[in-house]
């Protein structure tokens, strides 16, 4: 086995066993050269393997920062509520409703949803806490002509359960867009981010009923270190 791979496996095991816990620094390149008795090139190859495997992030002037590997799987395809995701993966969480009110549909929201300008919509902002940190910020806009009321206790629990079980609606499909975007002031104010957190993953969804009416537009903003986005793909020749 190549020496750099042996060093990678040794450092990987120490990270997994939390000898180097999340957010700590690995020893410097010079220190690793002394520890393992190898060249700088060998150490850099081992560190690149750690980086490509998602164990560390190299920061200019700081060194190699150990990343938190305890990430939750967020499905890209399918239409799953956070409540269902939480139950399936046993995610301990707390939801705080930061805002729930009716607004007039703006020209921008009309352009996204095709709801009539100045018609009523619900605006709902929820903070999702995991380990007492806000790691997801959900912004939902719901057509008030289809959903005339949203009780706050339903917003804290599960909107989809309320729509389907209480209102008898058939939620059918969604169009999704996933982007990585810079953190703005609103996101930073409402989420628990460090100065190192400069970007977030945003999942935008237009959600439709069985009769093809768009009734919900959502922006689900995720902290990069807590989630990985997964899907199952089957090859199809074209």
**Domain boundaries, given as residue ranges, for the chain:** 3-66, 73-229
Judge whether 3-66 and 73-229 match in fold: no
CA distance 10 to 27: 13
**Helix (H), strand (E) counts: the chain:** 8, 10
CA triple 23-73-79, angle to 5 deg = 145
pLDDT at residue 10 in the model: 93
Phi–psi pair at 146, nearest 5 degrees: -95, -40
pLDDT at residue 98 in the model: 96
| β strands within 26-132, DSSP E | 56-59, 63-66, 72-75, 93-104, 120-130
What is the pLDDT tens value at each position of the chain, 238 positions in all?
A: 689 999 999 998 898 888 998 888 999 999 999 999 999 999 999 998 888 777 887 777 778 888 766 555 666 666 666 565 555 555 567 899 999 999 999 999 999 999 999 999 999 999 998 878 898 999 999 999 999 999 999 999 889 899 999 999 999 989 989 999 999 999 999 999 988 788 999 999 999 999 999 999 999 999 887 776 666 556 666 6
Q: Does domain 73-229 have CATH number 3.40.1410.10?
A: yes
Q: Per-residue DSSP letters for 84-109?
A: HHHHHHT--EEEEEEEEEEEEPPHHH
- The whole-model pTM stands at 0.67
The single residue listed with the structure tokens 């929201």 is 109
The β-bridge relationship of strands 214-223 and 199-209 is: antiparallel
Q: Which pLDDT tens digit goes with each residue over 159-215?
A: 989 999 999 999 998 998 999 999 999 999 999 998 878 899 999 999 999 999 999
What fold does the segment set 3-66 form as a domain?
Answer: Arc Repressor Mutant, subunit A (1.10.10)
pLDDT at residue 188 in the model: 95
CA distance 179 to 177: 7
């Amino acid at each position: 086995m190549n020496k750099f791979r042996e060093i990678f496996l040794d450092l990987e095991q120490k990270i997994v066993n939390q000898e180097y816990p999340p957010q700590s620094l690995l020893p410097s390149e010079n220190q690793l050269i002394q520890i393992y008795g190898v060249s700088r090139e060998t150490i850099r190859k081992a560190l690149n393997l750690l980086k490509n495997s998602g164990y560390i992030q190299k920061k200019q002037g700081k060194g190699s920062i150990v990343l938190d590997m305890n990430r939750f799987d967020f499905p890209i395809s399918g239409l799953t509520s956070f409540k269902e995701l939480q139950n399936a993966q046993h995610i301990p969480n707390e939801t705080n409703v930061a805002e729930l009110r009716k607004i007039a549909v703006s020209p921008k929201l009309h352009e996204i949803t095709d709801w009539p300008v100045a018609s009523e919509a619900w605006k709902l902002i929820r903070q999702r806490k995991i380990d007492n940190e806000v790691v997801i910020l959900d912004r939902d806009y719901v057509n008030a002509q289809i959903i005339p009321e949203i009780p706050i206790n339903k917003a804290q629990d599960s909107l989809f359960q309320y729509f389907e079980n209480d209102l008898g609606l058939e939620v059918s499909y969604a169009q999704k867009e996933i982007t990585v975007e810079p953190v703005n002031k609103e996101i930073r104010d409402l989420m628990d981010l460090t100065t190192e957190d400069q970007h977030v993953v945003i999942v935008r969804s237009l959600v439709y009923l069985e009769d093809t009416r768009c009734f919900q537009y959502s922006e689900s903003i995720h902290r990069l270190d807590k989630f990985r986005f997964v899907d199952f793909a089957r090859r199809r020749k074209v």
